[in-house]
Amino acid sequence: MWAFDVTHYDDVWKVIINIGMLLVALLFGNMLRRVIPYLRKAFIPSALIGGILVFAVNLFCREVFGAEIVDRRLMQILTYHALAVGFIAMSLKIVDKKKEELGLHVVQNGLITGGTYMLQAVVGILVSLIFFWIGGTLFYDTGVLLPLGFGQGPGNALTWDNIFTDAGYLTSEGSLGLTIASVGFVVASVVGVIYINIFKRKGEISAKEKNFTRTVSDFETNNEIEDSESVDKISIQFAFVAVSYLLSFLIMMFFKKLTDWTNVKLFNDVAWGFNFIWGVITATLLKSLMKFLKKKKVVKQKYINNYQMDRISGFAFDIMIIAGVAAIDLEVVKDYIWVIAALCAAGTVVTTVYVKIMTKLCFKGFCHEAFLVNFGTLTGTASNGMILLREIDPNYETPTSNIFILSQFPAMLAVAPLLLLLNTSAASYGGCLIALGIFGALFIGYTVFLVLSSRKFARKIKDKK
């Protein structure tokens, strides 16, 4: 028997206290962002500020009182699951058919994402190989964490850092990947702000009046279920997310069983390392099933609400960011400080240059909007990208936001080879070189397609005129 008191803190109170601490820090982060103009003008996310606060307080308590207030393992668990929940909620959203006419631009945006991932992987692996050749002690494939940290944020960087640690390749226990991802948030904000200011001075970006007048259509569409009947609408949204994640877990268990049956460790790593991908797949299938049932009139009303799914994904990504920063172990990071600096510096330069060139080439008339949303996402998260986009296109007058949303599926297909080759590149030095060659070839292939398609599209526009 146990009671609901402090003697059973680990069993009863630890999870609630730690989550409560994160949310309180989020409030303080938001407050600091409001009262310190620089933080607001730099678009530093409140979640990142909150995460830094938790990290700093925990470090102070450890150094002064010899006790940590943060359960680092729990922070890593929250980061891992929040990534999948955020992607599932985004994938469950219903896309307006009228927005599906964006065609080539959607594919191009997806390939810009894929090309940037491949470039980050190539540069990251080359950097870690240089450290490996010079010193011989650093894991040769460490640099593959660059596209995972910059491109996908703390969740996947943490997962694969832990996988590499368990395999004996690294000793960072998640902190290396989390630090790269945290630096990515800062890069997204700082470089994004510098970019906006430069092109404002050049007269290529003009300040636009923000008009956030809300209508009913922003919150719900026709024939949706009521906000509150026998069950609240938000509860239904969480239920859809939970069903999708449960189905994802079954897929992961299947792959785990394949490892048991075949003794091939790859299946187990694929299972748990790609929880967010299985979530996207199951969410897409569930959404298609609901659409089919409605078409057959088995389901009479719309159950999925886009606005509330946005709120769920936003909350999940906020938790992912703040928990990911709080989970960093400074003692571990010290051992990798030069590698982190080299990876993040190289990643920042190549991402900025490549995304700038490709968006200018592919998105005539709204290249600045396309750069900001893609750069913010490919160094931070989708939230960073949308924050930067709203600064110069607050009312979404350009097609940028629609293109970005619709491009997530082709982007996932373009990035899939990188994710599928993570084990191959880590397993051996030769495998790392093979993966490096494949990433380089894919980068070239995606880039060639973007160049040729943009020229063909430009000729079509010219002929119509």
Q: What pLDDT was estimated at residue 136?
A: 73
What is the rounded CA–CA span in Å between residue 245 and residue 184? Answer: 27
Give the tens place of pLDDT for each residue, 2-42. Answer: 677 777 777 778 889 999 999 999 999 999 988 988 887 77
> How do residues 389-447 score in pLDDT, each as one tens digit?
877 877 777 888 778 877 878 888 899 899 889 888 998 999 999 999 999 999 999 99
Q: What is the pLDDT of residues 230-254, one digit of tens each?
A: 788 889 999 999 999 999 999 999 9
Place of tokens 């969740």: 155
- What CA–CA distances, in Å, run from 230 to 225, 242, 293, 337? 11, 19, 22, 54
In the prediction, which pLDDT does 69 show? 86
R_g of the chain computed on alpha carbons: 22
Positive or negative, the CA dihedral 268, 329, 436, 356 is positive
* 178 Cβ neighbours under 8 A, 6+ residues apart: 79, 149, 154, 157, 158, 161, 324, 325, 327, 328
Number of neighbouring beta carbons within 10 Å of residue 133: 10
| C-alpha to C-alpha distance for 327 and 71, rounded to whole angstroms | 8
3-state secondary structure of 394: coil
Q: How far are the Cα atoms of 135, 150, 158, 278, 420 from residue 274, in angstroms, in the given order?
A: 32, 17, 12, 7, 9
Taking phi over 0 as left and psi of -120 to 50 as alpha, with beta for the rest, 365 belongs to left
- Give the phi and the psi of residue 302 in degrees, each rounded to 5: -85, 130
CA angle (109, 279, 20) in 5-degree steps:
105
Residue 380 burial class via C-beta count within 10 angstroms: exposed 0-12, middle 13-18, buried 19 and up? buried
CA angle 39, 194, 187 (to 5 degrees): 65
Burial grade of 365 (CB within 10 A; 0-12, 13-18, 19 or more):
exposed
Which pairs with CB-CB distance under 8 Å and at least 24 residues apart come from 308-313? 308/233, 308/234, 308/237, 309/89, 309/90, 309/92, 309/93, 309/237, 310/89, 310/93, 312/85, 312/86, 312/89, 312/237, 312/238, 312/241, 313/85, 313/86, 313/87, 313/89, 313/90
Whether 239 and 306 have beta carbons less than 8 Å apart is answered as no
Structure tokens that stand for 379 in this block: 């160094």
Cα separation, 47 vs 52, whole angstroms: 9
Question: Model-level pTM?
Answer: 0.82
Residue 130, Cβ neighbours under 10 Å: how many?
15
286: nearest Cα among 252, 251, 243: 243
Q: Which residues contact 448 (CB under 8 A, 6 or more apart)?
A: none
CB 242 within 8 A of CB 250: no
Q: Which residues of the chain have pLDDT under 70?
A: 1-2, 95-102, 207-219, 221, 223, 227-229, 266, 456-465
| Contacts for 121 with CB less than 8 Å, ≥ 6 apart | 143, 144, 146, 147, 418, 436, 439
For residues 102 and 86, the answer to whether their CB atoms sit within 8 Å is: no
